[in-house]
A and B are shown apart, each in its own frame.
Chain A
Amino acid sequence: MNFDFLSNPDYDILGAFWVTVQLTLLAAAGSMIWGTILAAMRVSPVPLMRGFGTAYVNIFRNTPLTLILIAMSVVLSNKLGLVLASKSSPTFIKDNNFRLAVLGLVIYTSTFVCESIRSGINTVPAGQAEAARAIGLRFSQVLWIVILPQALRSVVAPLASVLIALTKNTTVASAIGVAEASLLMSTMVENESDALLGVFSIFALGFVVLTLPTGLLLGWVANKATVKR
């Protein structure tokens, strides 16, 4: 295998993976917040919020991420005029696309976070909610003080697989030109045609390094966090 391309300064492989990591972390934080709110809506007593939550999840979970990200750029930014970076900045296009990609990833990933948390709510014994209601807590208190803290502990494992899927999904951001790992790889396989296998192994290794420890670490956390019943 030929690894000469590693010494070529044109290819900032670590930089590209750093963008992948940034996309992952920002989108993970956003999806966690928005996904929890969606889950709260889906179990709330307000019918319209329940309906909105259900419709949102069914629509965005069933749309290809590629389509969501392209729509972010073509529809949301170009037609609706949503600009997420300062237009006078010299890196405007780059910043705007990066932030649109994060937003698109949040819109898509939050549906999976929402469904995981909702299934976690189901694992909390009914007695917990009944006891909370019996001492006079309101719905919002029942949910935020009693149910969600217990539910979140039991969904660490499914949320870990959502996070791993998100890490892999950040590659789709290349569809709107975000300079992350897959965009660099597609340039490199064309330029370094004699080193195809080497290029592939480096990028595959990069993703294994990103996803494997995440899985192991969060698997350990999941074991620690689960409420033993």
Chain B
Amino acid sequence: MSSAATVLYDHPGPKAKARNLIFSIIFGVLLVLLVLWVLDKLNSKGELTAKKWEPFTTSNVWSNFLLPGLGATIKAAVLSVIIALPIGAILAVGRLSDHRWVRWPAAVVVEFFRAIPVLILMVFAGEFYFQYTDVPSESRPLFAVVTALVLYNASVLAEIFRAGIRSLPHGQTEAAQAIGLRKTQMMVLILLPQALTAMLPAIVSQLVVVLKDTALGSIFVGYAELLRQANNLTANFSNSVATYTVIAVLYISMNFILSMLASWLEKLMRNRRGGGKHVPRALDPELEVRA
């Protein structure tokens, strides 16, 4: 990135430096004015008083609301990923199968669950468990959230695995065939493990998506995750600004750490493979952006 950033403009001389400084000052003043306006508004509504923010310094708020919420968020995310990983691997292998009757159903499943919103899946799953199963009502929200996240993320992970398997050098397949491995053995022993390592950064960044999507559980199915706790907190302390700020900071720091981990893994792998010979960079463009 830095190379492209510097190629766009000349190294600033005295004139350009002065101009950049002026732009910085104008932009900075505008930003400061915006922040002051927001703070003034919040202050006039009494949202900045110590009383509204103090609850977050007490252990009671953390142990009764924030930590259980955080735990529920992490629980749903981790469960979803653990279940989605093997299903994703199976779907990926299915899509690469030599048999049309395996390839096609796998493709339909993957494309279908990638095309519809997670929230729609969640509403359906919640009602489905309510009507057709005897899952106890207190664990139904968790079931609905995890089911929807598994269906969607298994499909996304399937595409990640498929891209990973296809990015491997063809010699891997040839060598496996030469030593007489069967197709299943080749897939399980040779291709999948390499695809999994090559795609580790992509899988870790998918974790960010899962973690954010757990918040959808607060809308219809009523899963008591971190965002849902905001209702309880604001009901007790009527401090919505403080509550949403603290919760946003929690989400942002978790996701930021995961993103850092992903880019660290990517760098580590590029170095380990000797200058990035086979690290797949340009994947299916759809995998590059996961909003």
A88 interfacial by beta-carbon distance below 8 Å: no
- B-chain residues with CB within 8 Å of residue A66 when the two chains form the complex: 215-216, 218-219, 227
B8→A189 contact, CB < 8 A:
no
- A-chain residues with CB within 8 Å of residue B244 when the two chains form the complex: 67, 70-71, 74-75
A43→B289 contact, CB < 8 A:
no
**C-alpha spacing A171/B120, complex, angstroms:** 8
- Beta-carbon contacts of B1-18 to A below 8 Å, as 1s and 0s? 101110111101000100
- Beta-carbon contacts of A168-204 to B below 8 Å, as 1s and 0s? 1101101100000110011001100100100010011
B120→A212 contact, CB < 8 A:
no
Within 8 A of A (CB), among B198-223: 208, 212-216, 218-220
7 A-B interface contacts by CB (under 8 A): A62-B255, A108-B291, A112-B291, A129-B7, A161-B286, A172-B119, A193-B131
Tell me the minimal C-beta distance from A188 to chain B in angstroms.
Answer: 9
A26 interfacial by beta-carbon distance below 8 Å: no
**C-alpha spacing A61/B254, complex, angstroms:** 12
A79→B112 contact, CB < 8 A:
no
Tell me the minimal C-beta distance from B122 to chain A in angstroms.
Answer: 9
Name the one of A75, A80, A112, A212 contacting B115, with C-beta atoms under 8 angstroms.
A212
Chain B residue with Cβ nearest A138? B9
What's the interface size class on A, roughly? 35 or more
Tell me the minimal C-beta distance from A218 to chain B in angstroms.
Answer: 11
Given A116-B289, A126-B4, A182-B119, answer yes or no on A204-B112 (Cβ-Cβ < 8 Å).
yes
A43→B218 contact, CB < 8 A:
no
Given A45-B9, A139-B8, A143-B8, answer yes or no on A207-B123 (Cβ-Cβ < 8 Å).
no
A217 interfacial by beta-carbon distance below 8 Å: no
A75→B240 contact, CB < 8 A:
yes
A58 interfacial by beta-carbon distance below 8 Å: yes
Given A182-B123, A185-B123, answer yes or no on A63-B251 (Cβ-Cβ < 8 Å).
yes
Kindly specify which of A2-10, A46-54, A92-100 makes contact with the partner chain: A46-54
Tell me the minimal C-beta distance from A142 to chain B in angstroms.
Answer: 6
- A-chain residues with CB within 8 Å of residue B10 when the two chains form the complex: 133
- B-chain residues with CB within 8 Å of residue A181 when the two chains form the complex: 120
A52→B240 contact, CB < 8 A:
no
Given A46-B24, A208-B112, answer yes or no on A147-B291 (Cβ-Cβ < 8 Å).
no
B174 interfacial by beta-carbon distance below 8 Å: no
- B-chain residues with CB within 8 Å of residue A147 when the two chains form the complex: 8
B268 interfacial by beta-carbon distance below 8 Å: no
- A-chain residues with CB within 8 Å of residue B175 when the two chains form the complex: none
Tell me the minimal C-beta distance from B206 to chain A in angstroms.
Answer: 13
A186→B220 contact, CB < 8 A:
yes
B8→A193 contact, CB < 8 A:
no
**C-alpha spacing A199/B51, complex, angstroms:** 47
Given A118-B1, A207-B116, A208-B116, answer yes or no on A59-B28 (Cβ-Cβ < 8 Å).
no
Tell me the minimal C-beta distance from A87 to chain B in angstroms.
Answer: 18
Tell me the minimal C-beta distance from A166 to chain B in angstroms.
Answer: 7
Chain A residue with Cβ nearest B46? A79
- Beta-carbon contacts of A135-168 to B below 8 Å, as 1s and 0s? 0000100110001000000000110011011101
Chain A residue with Cβ nearest B125? A200
B23→A70 contact, CB < 8 A:
no
- Beta-carbon contacts of A103-120 to B below 8 Å, as 1s and 0s? 000001100100110110
Q: Which of A49, A58, A79, A133 neighbours the largest number of chain B CB atoms within 10 Å of its CB?
A: A79
B267 interfacial by beta-carbon distance below 8 Å: no
Within 8 A of A (CB), among B107-150: 112, 115-120, 123-124, 127-128, 131
Given A116-B289, A133-B10, A166-B291, answer yes or no on A172-B216 (Cβ-Cβ < 8 Å).
yes
B227→A67 contact, CB < 8 A:
yes
Chain A residue with Cβ nearest B21? A46
Name the one of B20, B120, B131, B285 contacting A46, with C-beta atoms under 8 angstroms.
B20
**C-alpha spacing A126/B8, complex, angstroms:** 8
B27→A49 contact, CB < 8 A:
yes
**C-alpha spacing A158/B286, complex, angstroms:** 6
A52→B8 contact, CB < 8 A:
no
- A-chain residues with CB within 8 Å of residue B112 when the two chains form the complex: 204, 208
Tell me the minimal C-beta distance from A146 to chain B in angstroms.
Answer: 9
Chain B residue with Cβ nearest A203? B120
Given A64-B215, A66-B218, A196-B127, answer yes or no on A45-B20 (Cβ-Cβ < 8 Å).
yes
Chain A residue with Cβ nearest B257? A62
B61 interfacial by beta-carbon distance below 8 Å: no
**C-alpha spacing A80/B217, complex, angstroms:** 27
Within 8 A of A (CB), among B226-259: 227, 230, 240-241, 244, 247-248, 251-252, 255-256, 259
- B-chain residues with CB within 8 Å of residue A74 when the two chains form the complex: 240, 244
Given A43-B4, A204-B120, answer yes or no on A62-B208 (Cβ-Cβ < 8 Å).
yes
Given A43-B5, A80-B41, A158-B289, answer yes or no on A169-B117 (Cβ-Cβ < 8 Å).
yes
